[in-house]
Structure formats: C-alpha cells, structure tokens
Amino acid sequence: MKILSIIGKEMKTQLRNISMLLIYVLMPIILILILGVTFGSQMDGSSLTLGDMTVDYLVEGDAAELTDGFLAMMNEDAFSGNMTVEEVSDKDAALSSLADGQITCLVMVNETDKSFTIYKNSLYNTESSLIEAVMSTYVARYNAVMEIVKVNPAALAEIDLEAPAGDYSSMVALGQEKNLNSMDYYGIAMVVLFIMYGILQSFGDVLNERKTGTGNRMLMTSLEKYEFFAGKMAGQILVLAVQLGAVVLFSTQVFGVSWGDKPLLPFLLILVEMVMAVSIGITMGLSLNAEATGMTMGHMIIVLSAFFGGSYVPVSQLGGMASAGRFFSPIWWVQSGIVNYIYLGEKTTMMHAALFCLGITAVMFLISVIKLGRTEGLSYA
Amino acid sequence: MQDIVSVSKLTKKFGDITAVDRMDLTIKEGEIYGLLGPNAAGKSTTINVLCGMQHKTDGQVKIFGKDIEKDIRAIKADIGVVPQDIAIYSDLSAKENVRFFASLYGLKGALLKERTEEALDFVGLRERQNDLSKTFSGGMKRRLNIACAIAHHPRLIIMDEPTVGIDPQSRNHILTSVKQLNEMGSTIIYTTHYMEEAEFLCSRIGIIDHGKLIAEGSLSELQGIVADRKRIEIVTGIEKEADAEALKRIKGVLDTRLNEDDCIEVEVLKEADVIGALVSELTRQGVSIRDIKVHAVNLETTFLSLTGRKLRD
C-alpha cells in the first residue's frame, strides 16, 4: 500500500511536469521524424532514383556491329523512359556540352579497333558510372562472343542471342523477409536512447527529495528504507513507461514503425533497460550531492552510450576503435538485441543484452543498499 | 501522567564533534514542551534522534515506553513531525500532499479521506484543497506542512520552528492550532527562536546549549532562576564605544554585553540601584547616552543569563 502511494505520487509529480513531457515524448518523436527522413535514402534499400540522362555517342569509322550492339543495349528496358541517346559528329562540341552539364556522358565508339571510350561529367557521377558499368559488361560479353567465333564458330548457333541481355547478374538477400527501413531503425533507436535519459530523470527526482526534505519526511513516517527504494524504482519505471509508451504508440501509428510480429520480447528487453536506467539514476541521486556533477555524469553516460550504440549513426558506419566501443554501450546491446530478434529471428543478442543490463542493475542495487544502510536518513550536505 | 519521552544520558557524536552530550530529558503526556537553544546547540540533532532519523551514539531513548532501537517502526507510526524546512510537493495539491503523507502512516480508504479533510479543515486550507501547493503563500505552505504531520492523529507531535518566516496572521493561526492539538490529546515538542511563542505555548521549557540541557522547568520556574536580577539596556551614541569591563566594577552589576547596535546590556541585582552609577561611569568615559530601559525578568533574560547568548545568535 505504501509502495503504491509512492508510485502514485511519482506519476503525478513527474507527469505534471510539462518540460519533462516535452523532453521525453515530443523530442524522440521529432528525432525519429528528422533522422528517419534524413537517413531514409541510405538505409531503405529501395531503388536509386536516377535523374534524366542524355548520352551522346560518336562513331569513329563506319558504323558496324559494335555500334549496333551499343544502341541495342542502350535501348533496353532498364534504361528506357529516362534516357535519351543521341549521335553527334563533332567531338569538341560534344565535350563542351559535357563540361556544361548538358549531357550525362559521351561515348566514343571506335569501329576500327573495336573499343569504347567514355567521357564523364562529375555532376552526373552516379548516372555515368552506371552506364560505364553496364558497358563494361557489354564489352565483356562482346569479347566472349568474338573468342567463340575464333575457336568454334559453329557453337554460336547454340547461343540464344535473342535472349534478354539485361539480367547480367541477380541479387539474393540472405535470411530475411522484412526490410529494416530508416523509420523502423530510428523508431527503435530513439526509444532505446530516451530510456537512458531516465537516468537524469531519476537522479533529479531523488536529489530533489533530499534537497527539499520530502525524502526525510517520508522516512520519518513508518516507511522502511526498502519501501522507499522500491516505490521510487517502480514509480520512475512506470513514469518512463508512460512517456515512452506514448512515443511507441505515436511512432507505430503515424510513422509506421515496426516492432515485429511478436513484440513481447522486445518490450521485455525495453523494460529491463528501464530498470537499469532508473537504478543508475537513483543510485546517483542517493550518492551525489552536487546536481551539476550528477547531470554531467549522466549526460556523459548517455552521450557515449548513444554514440557507440548507434543512436544517431548506425554502428556499421563507425570504424576501428569507435566500433569496438559498442560492447560497452547498453544502447547498442539493447538495440542490436531487438533488431536481430525482429529482423533475423535471433534471440542470443537479446539474452546478452538483458544480462548486460541486469548486471549493471545488480551493481547499482548493491551500491544503493550500502548507501541507504550507512546514511542516516537521506541527508543532503 | 505517563512519560511520553524518556531520554537518559543521550549522546550523539559526529566524528570528534559531540552534538548532544549526556542529555537527560523527560516529557510527560499532554505537555507542550519547548526546546530552546541557539543555533548549533543540539536541538535538531536531539529531534532527529527522537524521530528515528539519526542513530544515537550512547544513552537510552524511550518513546511511549518503547525502546527506540527496538521498536522504531511502531514508535514512528505514532509521531508526527513538522520539519523546519517546508517539506511538501509543489506539484501536488494540498489534498494530495496530505493524503500522500497520511497514507505512509498506513491510513487508507474512507478513513484516509476523512482524516485528510479533517487536517485540511484544521489548518484552514479546505477551501484551497485542490490547488497546487506551489500557488500558496509562505504562510499557507507552513500550514500545509503541519497538516501533513497531523492527519494520522499522532500521540506525539514534534514541531521544529514551524513559524519561521511567515506573516503574523498565519503565525497566530499556527499558535492557536498548536494549543488546539494539545487540547485534543497530542503531546507536543516545540522548538523555536521566538521567546514569546515559548512563553505563550509551553507548559515546560528545556534550555539546551552546547549539546547539554542546562535548565528545565515551567516558565515561572525558569524565571525563578534569575528572579533576583533585572536587565538594563543603555543605547549609546556612536561617537565612542563604552568600556563594558569598567561597568562590571560597579557594585550590583553582574554582567555586561556590548551589542553591535550601540547598545549595552547590563545584568544587575534586582534590588541594586545602579542607574546613577552607570550614567556617571559612561559620562566619565565620554560616551553619550541616548536611551535607558529597565526590563523585568523574562525568558529572554533567563536564556541570556544561562547561555551568555541571545536565542537567535
């Protein structure tokens, strides 16, 4: 009953704090939106949108099979719609157009020595590289046919030259049916990150109880210290759950963020992370007297965990030592655990993440118990 | 009457500092006991030990006949503490504050509701019960501070300077409330810096200094300690400072003190006629005299005589 009273009090005092609501509800939603949209093209795995391309070609010598093959390739379905192929006769004028950005690239078709030369404009780097790659494949195919003609011309009859030439290679994705898009990634990442901000919330709350004397006043009643601790833990966890529950609800409904088909285990891991964050905050609140020290420590923990945990940029984009730092980040463990479970069906990382968080929680509990046992009341010096 | 508080040889040390030194104290049921003492005299430490917030170093403390070491939880359930600093939640309403603290004493359901309303009625905050306490004036917060300590009908109420920094109207309300609580059956320990409050409220007063209880008794008993004395206050000009030691040599003068506000306090035997001699001496020193007041013995005089310090030092 007393613990329930403390929980109720925590909910009322914290959830009535408008600035806290802005930080814990509005901020993650805004960040999911901004980061999700900003990094969307890098992470979504969808097709690259190409701009309109204009390819000029100039035939050196009389047009023959190499020119025909080139034109046939350029007119294939893969490029149809947004590519214009035009023959030019003045090389200098064409290069001038290329320099001005009026064309994507210039292809010199040399029928004499059977070769291609491509002139590219750095403005259209992606598009011209794509054309270069496709042409390399075409040249390889052409050379292969020429070799066959030299060695065994009769074998050409067995090759279906009418078959579509576009499928030079095919991609097979391993293991997964679902795609992790940027909204999903940051939808999870921001919830995992803002749980860590629960450290600051819990620290501030406990320190405030000590400063204002309300903590001591609670202990002057028949309340035991363990009831105070349990009430604080449960209350702060519930406050975080309500705040970030609103974020999860909003982001799933509005941004379509996915927590998988079976979200029970991910949410359990989220709960474990909340327990860890609150235990760190309460322990700091019981141990430190200076608000500035606690806030600095808390922010350091959060920022480093976020950086190495991939909250802002996926860990795969960090290199070397920075990448190694992820093993010390609870955010990385929890996030990886959730993502691996949802998208690969793998539970091992999730188990490791839970053990990592519970280990830290156990250490924090131990420090708090020692602190509460040794301190008379909740004295604030 | 039953002893509500029984303290024997209570000692509390913080490292090398002895905050409370072998204190003996007995408070009987139904009393309003005033605990007076200057800052750092040991009042707050004594109170913290009594309400279980600090552990004694030595001695024995019994409350309601129970040992504080063994039965602290049961003892706490029957104590209400009004802390010196206002310890309420600014983001909770008056009613929510009282309900919360009352619930920590084990009250629930209809009884919790009834006692919450009763406590708010008692301190005159029923009309504002749904307002957040951060919207209250200092006096209203002080009254709410009291309401949070009394809703569970404690047998012993400890009030640590409950009227600090408030307007006279709220102060009068609180003093009347303390009397009423006592009449309703609660025993009260009241610490204050205001002599007139102690004189108005307390059936017995203990004077504490340097961690020791140096005098104890009813107001008349304490005044009797210095009944043979009176106090003369001489306001001097600012041109020259008086030589207080020279005044002490006058027959009948017991003690002198120079205050910062150009005032000499002279403690003299009640029957001695020393004013003429004091004026002569000050004139001889070249000190101008602007005012002379003679005070009868009161608690302030007693306190000064016993501790050598003013209560607010």
Q: Encode pLDDT of A59-104 as tens digits.
A: 888 888 788 888 877 776 555 567 788 889 888 888 888 877 778 8
Cβ within 8 Å, pair A376-B96: no
Residue B157 has pLDDT above 70, yes or no: yes
Among B101-105, B166-170, B306-310, name the most confident range: B101-105
Asked if B98 has any chain A CB less than 8 Å from its own CB, the reply is no
Is A9 close to B73, i.e. CB distance below 8 A? no
- B79 shares contact with chain A (CB less than 8 Å): yes
Minimal CA separation from B99 to chain A, in Å = 9
Across the interface, whether the CB atoms of B96 and A2 are under 8 A apart is answered no
Mean pLDDT of B150-160: 93
The Cβ of residue B107 has, within 10 Å, a number of other Cβ atoms equal to 21
Nearest by Cα to B100 from A282, A224, A2? A2
- Look at residue B89 and tell me whether its pLDDT is greater than 90: yes
Does B305 touch chain A if contact means CB atoms closer than 8 Å?
no
Beta carbons of B180 and B188 less than 8 angstroms apart: no
Per-chain mean pLDDT for chain B:
87
What ipTM describes this predicted complex? 0.80
B64 CB within 8 Å of a chain A CB: no
Q: What pLDDT does residue A196 have? A: 94
Q: Is B100 on the interface with A (CB under 8 A)?
A: yes
Residue B87 pLDDT > 50, yes or no? yes
Q: Name the helix (H) or strand (E) containing B311.
A: none
Cβ neighbours of B92 in A, within 8 Å: 9, 12-13
A168 φ, ψ (degrees, to nearest 5): -70, -35
**A266-277: per-residue pLDDT in tens?**
999 999 999 999
Over residues B163-167, the mean pLDDT reads 83
Q: Give pLDDT, residue A178.
A: 61
Provide the pLDDT confidence category of residue B174 given band limits of 50, 70 and 90. confident
Length of chain B: 313
Predicted confidence at residue A167, as pLDDT, reads: 47
Query: Above 90 in pLDDT, residue A130?
Result: no
- Distant-in-sequence, close-in-space partners of B244: CB < 8 Å, separation ≥ 6: B256, B257, B258, B264
Give exposure, A185-200, as e/b (b: 16+ Cβ within 10 Å).
Answer: bbbbbbbbbbbbbbbb
* Nearest Cα residue to A135 out of A208, A211, A78, A63: A78
The residues of chain A that CATH labels 3.40.190 are 53-172
Determine whether the interchain pair A1/B51 forms a contact, defined as Cβ–Cβ distance below 8 Å: no
CB contact under 8 A, A222 and B105: yes
Determine the pLDDT at residue A224.
Answer: 86
For chain A, counts of helices (H) and of strands (E): 16, 4
Tell me phi and psi for residue B167, to 5 degrees. -75, 155
Number of A–B residue contacts, CB under 8 Å: 72
Question: Each residue of A277-314: pLDDT tens digit?
Answer: 999 999 999 998 888 999 999 999 999 888 888 777 76
Chain A CB contacts of B89 under 8 Å are 9, 13, 214
**Backbone angles phi and psi of A112, in degrees to 5:** -70, -55
Residue of A220, A224, A225, A239 to mutate when probing chain B, most B C-beta within 10 A = A220
Task: Kindly state the percentage of chain B with pLDDT values over 70.
Answer: 97
CATH architecture of the domain with range A53-172: 3-Layer(aba) Sandwich (3.40)
Contact (CB<8Å) A221/B105: yes
For residue A202, give both structure tokens. 């819990």
- What values do phi and psi take at B213, rounded to 5? -85, 105
Q: Is A214 in contact with B87 (Cβ distance < 8 A)?
A: yes
pLDDT surpasses 60 at B17: yes
Spell out which residues of chain B touch residue A5, defining contact as CB-CB under 8 Å: 100, 103-104
pLDDT at A214 over 50: yes
| Cβ pair B227, B302 in contact under 8 A | no
Residues B311, B303 contacting (CB under 8 angstroms): yes
Average pLDDT over residues B135-160: 92
- What number of CA atoms fall less than 13 Å from residue A316's CA on the CB side? 3
- B92 and A12 within 8 Å at the Cβ level: the answer is yes
Spatial distance between the Cα atoms of A114 and A142, rounded to a whole number of angstroms:
10
| Residue of A16, A213, A223 with shortest CB distance to B104 | A223
Q: Do B87 and A5 touch (CB under 8 A)?
A: no
Of B37, B113, B24, the residue nearest B303 (C-alpha): B37
pLDDT band at B59 (very low <50, low <70, confident <90, very high): very high
3-state class (DSSP) for residue B190: strand
Report helix, strand or coil for A366: helix
Residue in B with minimal Cα distance to A212: B87
Least confident of A122-136, A181-195, B44-58: A122-136
The pLDDT, as a whole number, for residue A361 is 95
Order of strands across the sheet that contains A53-60: A83-87, A53-60, A105-110, A115-120
Which pLDDT tens digit goes with each residue over A350-359?
999 999 999 9
At B233, which amino acid appears?
A: E
Residues 6+ apart with CB under 8 A from A376: B48, B53, B54, B55
CA distances for A262 relative to A13, A234, A345, A354, angstroms: 34, 25, 10, 17
Measured CA to CA, the distance from residue B313 to residue B40 in angstroms comes to 10
Contact A16 B91 (CB under 8 A): yes
Q: Is B48 on the interface with A (CB under 8 A)?
A: yes
For helices A291-309 and A198-212, angle between their N-to-C axes, nearest 10 degrees: 170
Assess whether pLDDT exceeds 80 at residue B304: no
What is the C-alpha to C-alpha distance for residues B201 and B188, in angstroms, rounded to an integer? 10
List the single best residue of B103, B135, B153 to mutate versus A (max A Cβ within 10 A).
Answer: B103
Per-residue confidence (pLDDT) for residue B155, from 0 to 100: 93
Query: Mutation test of the interface with chain A: which of B50, B76, B100, B132, choosing the one with the most A Cβ atoms within 10 A?
Result: B100
